[in-house]
Chains A and B, each alone.
Chain A
């Protein structure tokens, strides 16, 4: 089995979970004996995870801040701003076109050429940015197409105002695909109800956890708080509507009154940072909040190990890999019920993101009852590593087999 796979970002040049999930999937598929040709839009360092990697633009190395440049999760407002700024973006200087959509289309044109030159059994495209590439590859090769939904436009906009063009691209990809894979049942339901895709071809393949990473030196703000024996509630994720940073502040407010020794560390950046800082100030919580910026690898591992509770208050979270990361590092977690990860983990607390009191009460319990914290630490660690990327890889391999046999390889 040989797969032509289209991605948009890859660790260490990833802005979030999409890159992490792609790496996990490729690793799991390799363990299952599946060959993957992994295609990325532009020359970038991908570590040693990829045996066979192609770049749509192999000549221009990626420079600058990958996290902001490649961010496929731009809010509608930011996204419009990017469009208007046109070709002045760093990173894609050789690529014609002025907007994110133009880049997506250009990627599809290159994809057709790559597909023509190679031999493979199935095409696999991750999220809307690569769906046109997948479609183009299907058209020239006649091979079956699998699209993988890591997030939908409804998640990215917090179920607010989806961008029409993005929605249409997503829909076209899902309709043309021979198989649609969703990272959770939560996402599957959204794909069926918001996009009207035939439920029979929509399958759930959950993401997986990974062993904990070694901790590097902790970010200064966290080290300082621990030295002062403060309690830390951690937020990890982009500061954007979907992730519920505003709800994090509301919960913090409720906790601060009850446990004044609690501090709140925000690891991530995004379009809502200004709003979040304003809300913190208005709540009189200036002294209780630390903004650590975007953390990765060892630094993030240190944050997970030193914090007391992880809160994922997402408004709409297709999966939520950070919850598995936090738990595998032994961090007791409170996760939004409006998430995919809540389907696969048991040894954590689950709460509706809008139920501030219930969320705060669960966090306070972890802070107040040492036996609870210790049990969540140990059981959570096991729970988060119960299934690995190889399990995900196995399910995908089986799906490829059935898609290929169903379509007669066409």
Chain B
């Protein structure tokens, strides 16, 4: 019988505040604001902590306590960990307690949840190492399985992850990747020898992440036993059913009053009721199962939007301009050797900034509108570009900065 593999993405970006032209050269703090609202990172973090992280962690702790077979895995971005430490230390403590059970795996990724793989291999490696250090510092573990930002994946990403020592990698089980094949097996990325590929079962994952509260959906309301029956219906020769989603699904994307926490609370019971069912972490799957076949993914896929490509972050002139301007600063920022500059620059590389500049609102606009804290992609672009202009001014300043 297939094992259930749960992986949750835990991420918060440092949103750039409303940074007007007149701040350039005057204000070097791009990320904190006294103004209330969608760009106040501290306020947002505490809200999400209250609605999602803390209650979801309580449920996870209960489930791990009650079911010795239960397994989960998380990927925490560095920008999340920094904000948790600064704004809600109790959130960090509760995640640490979960990891301490030994049954919650921590995955590896880029520290800044960036698109660095697409633009600079050096920066990508720097961020993966930075993230590895942060995970070791906070949780005392070393990630063995890699997930790239927004599950952006291709053969090249797998080859790089293998070179960096990862045993497994995670990707979207998109139709155009899989063709007739099933996402419920372990694969070997083309051009690699040791690393294993786990693919998201997007139908079952999205039933929870996106459709759970949709009353227009035939299967609404989704109950734990109904969902378990779908899992049980999966071909019994399968290795795993990989349910990958944002952790904010619980309480933030699907609000508490949709019953999402009750669903989560009963899910393991219902799954385990069926004889032979069990849970596994990504590392356990990779260790226990040889790849079934090679998987050749020459072009990038991701888990975003209906296109499941890169068009949420790059491709429109605003995004491309901002990305080019940001990565053009790599050499001067690093050469400056100034820690605050390097740190601020890294925070400006987070993929969310470019997502907010996306203009393809009319097709699957609702998702973008929901996740966009700015009034428009234009506002997102302007604050971002002005912050970069300030960064260039700082670089141009002679003799370094006194506050560094």
By a beta-carbon cutoff of 8 Å, the part of chain A in contact with chain B is 258, 346-350, 357-358, 360-362, 364-365, 368-369, 371-372, 374-376, 379
Contacts of B101 in A (CB 8 A): none
- Nearest-neighbour CB distance to chain A for B232, whole angstroms, equals 46
Within 8 A of A (CB), among B355-404: 359, 361, 375-376, 378-379, 381-382, 385-386
Please name the 8 residue pairs, one residue from A and one from B, whose CB atoms are nearest each other, closest first: A371-B321, A361-B20, A361-B21, A365-B382, A371-B317, A364-B21, A375-B317, A375-B318
- The answer, yes or no, to whether B22 is at the interface (CB within 8 Å) is yes
- Nearest-neighbour CB distance to chain B for A199, whole angstroms, equals 27
CA distance A203 to B62 in the complex (A): 53
Contacts of B317 in A (CB 8 A): 371, 374-375
Given contacts A258-B21, A358-B20, A360-B21, contact A365 B385 (CB under 8 A): yes
Assess the B381–A346 pair: CB atoms within 8 A: no
Contacts of A350 in B (CB 8 A): 375-376
- Nearest-neighbour CB distance to chain B for A19, whole angstroms, equals 31
Given contacts A350-B375, A375-B316, contact A369 B20 (CB under 8 A): no
Given contacts A357-B20, A365-B385, contact A371 B320 (CB under 8 A): yes
Contacts of B21 in A (CB 8 A): 258, 360-361, 364-365, 368
CA distance A202 to B139 in the complex (A): 60
Assess the B382–A361 pair: CB atoms within 8 A: yes
- Nearest-neighbour CB distance to chain A for B214, whole angstroms, equals 25
- Nearest-neighbour CB distance to chain A for B228, whole angstroms, equals 43
Closest residue on chain B to residue A371 by CB atoms: B321
Q: Mark B72-87, 1 if CB is under 8 A from A, else 0.
A: 0000000000000000
Assess the B386–A365 pair: CB atoms within 8 A: yes
Assess the A369–B385 pair: CB atoms within 8 A: yes
- Nearest-neighbour CB distance to chain A for B328, whole angstroms, equals 14
Contacts of A360 in B (CB 8 A): 21-22
Closest residue on chain B to residue A386 by CB atoms: B362
Assess the A372–B359 pair: CB atoms within 8 A: no
Assess the A349–B379 pair: CB atoms within 8 A: yes
Q: Mark B246-267, 1 if CB is under 8 A from A, else 0.
A: 0000000000000000000000
By a beta-carbon cutoff of 8 Å, the part of chain B in contact with chain A is 18, 20-22, 316-318, 320-321, 359, 361, 375-376, 378-379, 381-382, 385-386
- Nearest-neighbour CB distance to chain A for B358, whole angstroms, equals 11
CA distance A348 to B320 in the complex (A): 19
CA distance A358 to B320 in the complex (A): 25
Contacts of A357 in B (CB 8 A): 20, 22
Total A-B residue contacts, Cβ distance less than 8 Å:
55
Closest residue on chain A to residue B20 by CB atoms: A361
Assess the A371–B382 pair: CB atoms within 8 A: no
Known: A357-B20, A358-B18, A365-B386. 6 other contacts (CB 8 A): A347-B378, A349-B378, A365-B385, A369-B321, A371-B318, A376-B378
Closest residue on chain B to residue A350 by CB atoms: B375
- Nearest-neighbour CB distance to chain A for B327, whole angstroms, equals 15
Given contacts A362-B382, A365-B382, A365-B385, contact A372 B22 (CB under 8 A): no
Contacts of B321 in A (CB 8 A): 369, 371-372
Q: What are 24 inter-chain pairs, A to B, with CB distance below 8 A?
A: A346-B361, A347-B378, A349-B379, A350-B375, A350-B376, A360-B21, A360-B22, A361-B21, A361-B386, A364-B21, A365-B381, A365-B385, A365-B386, A368-B385, A369-B381, A371-B321, A372-B318, A372-B378, A372-B381, A372-B382, A372-B385, A375-B317, A376-B378, A379-B359
CA distance A258 to B21 in the complex (A): 9
CA distance A349 to B378 in the complex (A): 7
Contacts of A347 in B (CB 8 A): 359, 376, 378
Assess the A361–B22 pair: CB atoms within 8 A: yes
CA distance A372 to B375 in the complex (A): 15
Contacts of B385 in A (CB 8 A): 365, 368-369, 372
Contacts of B320 in A (CB 8 A): 371
Contacts of A372 in B (CB 8 A): 318, 321, 378, 381-382, 385
- Nearest-neighbour CB distance to chain B for A346, whole angstroms, equals 6
CA distance A379 to B318 in the complex (A): 12
- Nearest-neighbour CB distance to chain B for A289, whole angstroms, equals 21
Closest residue on chain B to residue A349 by CB atoms: B378
Q: Which of B18, B317, B385 has the most CB of A within 10 A?
A: B317
CA distance A269 to B375 in the complex (A): 33
- Nearest-neighbour CB distance to chain A for B377, whole angstroms, equals 8
CA distance A357 to B26 in the complex (A): 15
CA distance A368 to B24 in the complex (A): 13
- Nearest-neighbour CB distance to chain B for A336, whole angstroms, equals 14
Closest residue on chain A to residue B389 by CB atoms: A368
Contacts of B318 in A (CB 8 A): 371-372, 375
Contacts of A346 in B (CB 8 A): 361, 376
